[in-house]
Structure 1
Amino acid sequence: MPRILMTGASGGIGTRLRKLLPPIYPDLLLSDIREPKDLGPKEQFKAADLSDLAQVEALCEGVDGILHFGGYSVEGPWDDILQANIIGGYNLFEAAYRKGVKRVVFASSNHVVGFYPRHHKIGTDVTVRPDGRYGVSKVFGEAVGSLYADKHGLKVTCIRIGNCDERPLDHRRIAMWLKPEDLVQLCQIGLEHPDIHFEVFYGVSLNERAWWDNHRAYAFGYRPTGRSEDHVAHAMAEQAKLKPDPIGDHYQGGAFCSNEFDGDASRIIDWNKR
């Protein structure tokens, strides 16, 4: 039975995965900087600060695979993102290598390509266009994962997560919604598929309006069951409550693009096709 470490256990996605993973991976070690408030009596938990390499090494002792959902999960000050996502991301891969962990699934983000227009359908082979410091940190994480796969032989899967929730809550999330059970399926591929070396998948369900070509995930057996179209009425009702955002409404990254924006929109690709 493989021992799996999941970081970020107290976060939004981690909380959902804690309910879905145990039947598949009974030997699941949870970690975060703080213990989840609703930690169950049968759940294994060990607190760790990702910016402390010694603590991360201790976490990785005896582990077969890692689901790395830890770190700073929104846009924020550089110093916070630097410690949690840049230093923390490096520490995670370095600790995995030192302790002989064979597989890492890295929670990347749609925000690595946030400045692509919504009418562009893109694959994982496009130039990254991060929409903020958070997006930059996820670009870094993917690059470190690629390095450790090529140089040290780790099997690394990066999942560019759209929006993982019970249902999409606005127009943007109709395109990028990821049903939690579909995320579990992607995690299983990363932890178990024999042909993984270094892969980047989009974390998105079977949405007709999706902006992303996810053929690599399908080639590895991904078969999502969620459909955002089943929730369109609710999502559009929520969208009607939002104020227009001339920058964010045009780009895939949404409000992450308009946050602190003082650039020249006409110089960004396809601005005039909005």
Structure 2
Amino acid sequence: MNKTSEFDIAGSAVSDMRVAITGAAGSLAADIIPALLEACVELVCVDRTKPAKDLGLEWHICSINDRDALKAAFVGCDAVVHLAGIPLEDEWERILENNIDGTQAVLDTALHAGINKVVLASSIHATGFVGIPADEAVPADVRVRPNTFYGVSKAALEALGSYYHDRYAMNVICLRIASRFSEPQNVRMLSTWLSPEDAGRLFIAALGPQATGFRTIWGVSRNARGYLSAEAGEAIGFHALDDAEVFAEQISEEAESNPLAAESQWDRKYLGGVFSSDEPPLQPYSIDNQEPHQTEGSNK
């Protein structure tokens, strides 16, 4: 495989790593798998279903709560990237089982497999009730203020990561992913957009040697209107390149006639935007068919 690419400098540090990726059939995985393969990472894919295009990779079809199956999948791995889970607001019981219990199962199985690096897909919604700043950018380690049960599950994911770091010295990198779409969908996303290409750069950096200890990092592109600090990401070698501003004129025109593209009162008040409202968007997909389109938040 040709290693001379835009990922060459960062990718060279992770080349030849064997990495297990949970939620590997989801849309976030679809964004980052090409970048990881380009960086010569050997991938082991874990999900409940196998996509039509499996890219000839190694697949383990199982629930993340099936610890025996996870143990088999993690054999020989140097790191785990944990993406699996419910990606929007849902009933508490489902959130608990899939997002919280599932994360603990992944971390504990990684620990007992001797894996010392886990990258966790967190979300901006772990901090959804943090206010939009007037001037200074919001640091990546701002305290959790979840705006949904989903956000609570991501706060719990980060707490579990902190626990496994402090008790077992595991390197755990929590990526607080903002608005991950192929293109920004509304005015708010001109500030919070994470492009697919920058998502690839983010995960490569998180797997690299500079990403040690326990850290929270904003998953966001280099947006001119951005208010999420890039400092923590740059400290591990994540240098976003894309800027939502190239879509600004298009979105502004659409916002004149489409309320969904316009900036809401929630967008102006909280990091979590409409997800902080009284009626946050709900998860419309069955957990047995985890193949939703790109969404606000972390994993799918």
Q: Indicate whether the TM-score tops 0.5.
A: yes
Opposite residue 146 of structure 1, the aligned amino acid is: S
Opposite residue 87 of structure 1, the aligned amino acid is: D
The 10-residue stretch of structure 1 (92-101 or 9-18) with the greater mean CA deviation from structure 2 = 9-18
Change (3 A) 1:146 1:182: same
CA positional deviation for 1:190: 1.8
Which of 228, 232, 249 does residue 216 from structure 1 map onto? 232
1:44 paired to 2:58: yes
Structure 1 match to 2:276? 257
Which of 25, 31, 36 does residue 46 from structure 2 map onto? 31
Percent identity (aligned): 30
The 10-residue stretch of structure 1 (112-121 or 166-175) with the greater mean CA deviation from structure 2 = 112-121
Structure 1 match to 2:170? 154
Please list the CA deviations of residues 106-153 of structure 1 after superposition, one character each: whole Å capped at 9, or x if unmatched. Answer: 100000111122245321332211110000000011111111112112
In structure 2, runs of 5+ residues without a counterpart are 1-15, 281-300
CA positional deviation for 1:19: 2.6
User: Is the contact made by 2:31 and 2:200 (CA closer than 8 Å) also made in structure 1?
Assistant: no
1:199 paired to 2:215: yes
Partners in 2 of 1:81 and 1:55 — Cα distance? 21
Structure 2 match to 1:234? 250
Partners in 1 of 2:31 and 2:221 — Cα distance? 16
CA positional deviation for 1:20: 2.5
Structure 1 match to 2:160? 144
Q: Secondary structure at the match of 1:31?
A: strand
Q: After TM superposition, list the pairs within 5 Å mapping 1:258-273 onto structure 2.
A: 258-260=277-279
CA positional deviation for 1:195: 5.5
Q: Secondary structure at the match of 1:101?
A: coil
Partners in 1 of 2:266 and 2:41 — Cα distance? 45
CA positional deviation for 1:186: 2.0
Q: Report which structure shows greater RCO (CA 8 Å, sep ≥6).
A: 2
Q: Secondary structure at the match of 2:38?
A: coil
1:14 paired to 2:29: yes
Partners in 1 of 2:251 and 2:63 — Cα distance? 36
CA positional deviation for 1:60: 1.4
Change (3 A) 1:115 1:101: same
Q: Secondary structure at the match of 2:118?
A: strand
1:169 paired to 2:185: yes
Please list the CA deviations of residues 205-224 of structure 1 after superposition, one character each: whole Å capped at 9, or x if unmatched. Answer: 11121121231211222211
Partners in 2 of 1:71 and 1:238 — Cα distance? 32
User: Is the contact made by 2:122 and 2:176 (CA closer than 8 Å) also made in structure 1?
Assistant: yes
Which of 122, 125, 133 does residue 141 from structure 2 map onto? 125
Change (3 A) 1:32 1:195: closer
Structure 1 match to 2:296? none
Q: Aligned Cα RMSD in Å? A: 1.9
Please list the CA deviations of residues 196-250 of structure 1 after superposition, one character each: whole Å capped at 9, or x if unmatched. Answer: 1111110011112112123121122221110111111223344441257544553
Structure 2 match to 1:115? 129
Opposite residue 152 of structure 2, the aligned amino acid is: V
Change (3 A) 1:224 1:194: closer
CA positional deviation for 1:13: 0.9
CA positional deviation for 1:38: 2.6
Opposite residue 274 of structure 2, the aligned amino acid is: A
Partners in 1 of 2:103 and 2:174 — Cα distance? 12
Q: Could you state the TM-score of these two structures normalised by the residue count of structure 1?
A: 0.88
Structure 1 match to 2:10? none
